[in-house]
Structure 1
């Protein structure tokens, strides 16, 4: 697989990463099987998808434990990315950016991941009660201590401001400029996909101009862009899509032209032996947005992990990119 260099630390990763969140968080709990998830992680590594993206809050904690089982055997093949700063409360998620907590959380993540160093440590959410410079400074100390190799920031909360249009990521950019004064930002993780492309307006160019890697979260639109979801099929109550305005039967049906367009492009590249899928076209579109961009599609299935990794070898033509750019905009609120 093609390798891409990300961030100030100039670390190399496979062009397509693996988002581990669905293995133990946010998606259908009844379909979360540890052994299947382990096979998915191994399938990704086998195909060069070295970046494994997890977080301490996924589960909580069980996601890191699962990834750690693979790392115990294959640490040298993986690029380990985890997150800090977000806790699972009784009724909602709670930010915690206190320096002492960050230090303890890092040590706990190292134990769960069965490694002595985290390649990328990301701030999952800023704490309104703690100046971000203090949180970031504590994370920088972890780099100095040899526990972490590089730091990243998640652009959390952007969806709540989606109606602001071009100003969507202004707050994230201001935050990035503040923490850059403390310690270099290696990566920003934010949503980017065919049906949620707002990061192209300002955030992606900001990263490109400063050599900051961009980890594209939800590059498959929470599964919609795979073309495997049927409008009206419904989701289990613990699946985040069960409460999502874009995943009502009406909105899923209304947005089918996007998938139809992706399938049309896929047919031009497939053959009878190895057909190209809409998901691979969607990921190839993300990859085409710049050499500093690494999509991190999430899955808990071995089959999809292998398929997603295969997107790294798909090269869209100028005609393909123009066709995808001309697809209808996604309908339905994303807030």
Structure 2
């Protein structure tokens, strides 16, 4: 698989990563199986995937434990990316950016991942009660201590609280400019897909100009762009798609032309709609690494194969001409 370089730390990884969250948290929990997830990680590694993305809050903690088991004996093949900054309570998820917490969280993640160093340590969300520079300074100390190789920032919640008229990632970019004064940002994790391309407007150009990598979260639109989900199908009560405006029967039906367009292009390349959707993300820049999440071996291997799908300029133009996704995102 083609390798790409992430950020100023010049960390090389396979062009397609693996999001591990669905293996033990949030999506279709009745289908989560530890042994199957281990096989999925191993299949991804065998296919050339290196970047395994997790977080301490997933579970909480169970996802890191699973990833730690999966890479035991194969650590040199894996690029471990995890996150800190969010605490899961009985009713709420709250941010914690206090330096003391950051240090303890890192040590705990190292133990769960069964490793001496985390390749990319990301701030999952800034704490509104703590200046982000203080949090970032504590994370930078972890690099100095040799516990972390590089730092990243998550912008997955960029839509929340956006002011009218503001661009999607204005707040994220302001945050990035602040922490860059403390220690270099190697990567930003942000949503990017055919049906959620807003990061192209501002965040991707900002990162490209500064040598910052992009980890493209939800590159398959929470599974919709795979073409395997049918309008009106049910989701388990604990699956966030059960309450998602774009996953109502009406909106899933309305957005079928997007999947149909991906399928037309896929047939021309002997590929799948999911692979075309990921190949589109890969064409957005050499600093972009899509991180599709899955719990199944089949999809992990299929997703890795997207790195070999060479979209033409005509394909890109056809995708750009597809109808914009309908339905509010949040």
TM-score bucket of the superposed structures, by smaller chain? over 0.9
In structure 2, C-alpha distance between the alignment counterparts of 1:256 and 1:52, rounded to whole Å = 30
Q: CA deviation at 1:161?
A: 4.8
In structure 1, C-alpha distance between the alignment counterparts of 2:191 and 2:29, rounded to whole Å = 23
Distance 1:162 1:249, change over 3 A: farther
User: Does the 8 Å contact 1:37/1:300 carry over to 2?
Assistant: yes
Structure 2 partner of 1:152: 152
Structure 2 partner of 1:298: 293
Distance 1:296 1:165, change over 3 A: farther
Structure 1 partner of 2:252: 252
In structure 2, C-alpha distance between the alignment counterparts of 1:67 and 1:58, rounded to whole Å = 11
Q: Which runs of 4+ in 1 moved over 3 A?
A: 161-166
Match of 1:310 among 289, 305, 311: 305
Structure 1 partner of 2:315: 320
- The two structures have a TM-score, normalised by structure 2, of 0.99
**1:73 is paired with a residue of what secondary structure?**
coil
Structure 2 partner of 1:334: 329
Q: Which moved further from structure 2: 120-129 or 83-92? A: 83-92
- The two structures have a TM-score, normalised by structure 1, of 0.97
Q: CA deviation at 1:165?
A: 6.1
User: Does the 8 Å contact 2:156/2:217 carry over to 1?
Assistant: no
Q: 1:125-158 CA distances to partner (integer Å, 9 max, x unpaired)?
A: 0001100000000000000000000000001321
Aligned ranges 1:79-158 → 2 under 5 Å: 79-158=79-158
In structure 2, C-alpha distance between the alignment counterparts of 1:126 and 1:170, rounded to whole Å = 15
In the alignment, structure 1 residue 289 sits paired with structure 2 residue 284: yes
Q: CA RMSD in A?
A: 1.0
In structure 1, C-alpha distance between the alignment counterparts of 2:269 and 2:220, rounded to whole Å = 19
In structure 2, C-alpha distance between the alignment counterparts of 1:242 and 1:164, rounded to whole Å = 27
Aligned ranges 1:3-14 → 2 under 5 Å: 3-14=3-14
Structure 2 partner of 1:67: 67
Distance 1:53 1:165, change over 3 A: farther
User: Does the 8 Å contact 1:166/1:202 carry over to 2?
Assistant: no
Structure 1 partner of 2:169: 169
Q: CA deviation at 1:101?
A: 0.3
**2:116 is paired with a residue of what secondary structure?**
coil
How many residue pairs get aligned? The number is 330
In structure 1, C-alpha distance between the alignment counterparts of 2:252 and 2:301, rounded to whole Å = 26
Distance 1:204 1:218, change over 3 A: same
Q: CA deviation at 1:164?
A: 4.5
In structure 2, C-alpha distance between the alignment counterparts of 1:267 and 1:80, rounded to whole Å = 34
Q: CA deviation at 1:70?
A: 1.6
Q: 1:92-113 CA distances to partner (integer Å, 9 max, x unpaired)?
A: 2110000000000000000000
In structure 2, C-alpha distance between the alignment counterparts of 1:325 and 1:160, rounded to whole Å = 26
Structure 2 segments unaligned to the other structure (5+ residues)? none
Q: CA deviation at 1:302?
A: 0.3
Structure 1 partner of 2:273: 278
Structure 2 partner of 1:25: 25
User: Does the 8 Å contact 2:156/2:191 carry over to 1?
Assistant: no
Q: CA deviation at 1:47?
A: 0.8
Q: Which moved further from structure 2: 216-225 or 24-33? A: 24-33
Q: 1:282-312 CA distances to partner (integer Å, 9 max, x unpaired)?
A: 0000000000000000000000000000000
User: Does the 8 Å contact 1:71/1:115 carry over to 2?
Assistant: no
